């Protein structure tokens, strides 16, 4: 009879455990400005990328933006698109491989792989000094879970109306911005952000929490506040 194996001290460093391999590096590809759709081998939509069309040679802050359940890459992109030019943000909005992100359904896997490939492609073409993750609703929960798992890459997380955070392993201490409507009927603040924010703070994460009068939404003022908060801290340095 064989003795059972000892448990792993921590999960493996792979997509099934939420780990991303992409990292900023000096770009080697050709940068494309403006809005660029990313499609798969069969022409299916996989992501939207937006790079400000300006003459500024500073490295970008890259923000990965994740849509809510049943949403689209465009809805993710629109969270910060009106603010991208003014704040010099490189926006990357993937489309989930299913109706929502893999962790919500059955655990990390295909969406982590897609995001890693997408980030690798974008980082190879654009100078990036800083990486942040953001999202709304299920996308906010996923941004928190994936962002805390990859805090050695992700410097900040913008979570608009999140339900939870469920990293399998954590790295670093990214700063976190959370907003939530006090009257949210879909993910009630009382059982979501009002519990989540104190827990994150107790674990040592710096969290800025903005609760507003409203429901399951992201008011324009909260988007502006989040973007201002994001750029208020110095970028980590040139790629």
Beta strands, E only, 12-142:
34-39, 45-51, 60-66, 89-94, 128-136
The pLDDT value given to residue 53:
84
Query: How long a stretch of residues is the chain?
Result: 239
The pLDDT value given to residue 207:
98
Given a cut of 80, is residue 25 above it in pLDDT? yes
d(CA 222, CA 61): 19
The pLDDT value given to residue 56:
67
Percent of the chain with pLDDT over 70: 92
Q: Which tens digits make up the pLDDT trace of 48-60?
A: 999 998 766 789 9
Given a cut of 80, is residue 46 above it in pLDDT? yes
Please report, for residues 26, 30, 61, 171, 180, the alpha-carbon distance to residue 127 in angstroms, rounded to integers and kept in the order given.
6, 11, 9, 23, 33
Strand partners, 131: 62
Phi, psi of 29 (to 5 degrees): -100, -175
Given a cut of 60, is residue 239 above it in pLDDT? no
The pLDDT value given to residue 6:
39
The pLDDT value given to residue 124:
93
Buried b (16+ CB within 10 A) or exposed e, 174-211: bbbbbbbbeebeebbbeebbeebbeebeeeebebbbbb
Q: Within a 10 A sphere around the Cβ of 105, how many other Cβ atoms? A: 16
pLDDT level of residue 13 (50, 70, 90 thresholds): confident
The pLDDT value given to residue 232:
92
The pLDDT value given to residue 5:
38
């Amino acid at each position: 009879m064989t003795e059972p194996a000892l448990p792993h001290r921590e999960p493996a460093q792979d997509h099934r455990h939420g780990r991303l391999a992409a990292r900023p590096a000096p770009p080697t590809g050709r940068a494309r400005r403006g809005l660029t759709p990313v499609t798969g081998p069969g022409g299916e939509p996989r992501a939207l990328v937006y790079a400000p069309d300006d003459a500024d040679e500073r490295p970008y802050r890259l923000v990965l933006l994740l849509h809510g359940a049943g949403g689209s890459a465009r809805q993710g992109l629109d969270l910060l698109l009106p603010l991208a030019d003014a704040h010099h943000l490189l926006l990357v909005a993937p489309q989930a491989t299913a109706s929502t992100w893999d962790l919500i359904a059955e655990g990390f896997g295909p969406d982590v792989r897609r995001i890693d490939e997408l980030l690798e492609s974008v980082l190879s073409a654009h100078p990036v000094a800083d990486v942040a993750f953001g999202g709304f609703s299920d996308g906010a929960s996923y941004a928190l879970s994936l962002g805390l798992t990859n805090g050695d890459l992700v410097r900040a997380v913008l979570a608009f109306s999140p339900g939870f955070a469920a990293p399998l392993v954590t790295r670093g201490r990214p700063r976190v911005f959370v907003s939530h409507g006090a009257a949210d009927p879909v993910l009630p603040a009382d059982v979501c952000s009002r519990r989540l924010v104190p827990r994150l703070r107790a674990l040592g994460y710096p969290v800025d929490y903005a609760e507003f009068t409203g429901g399951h939404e992201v008011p324009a003022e909260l988007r502006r506040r989040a973007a201002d908060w994001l750029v208020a801290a110095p970028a980590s340095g040139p790629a």
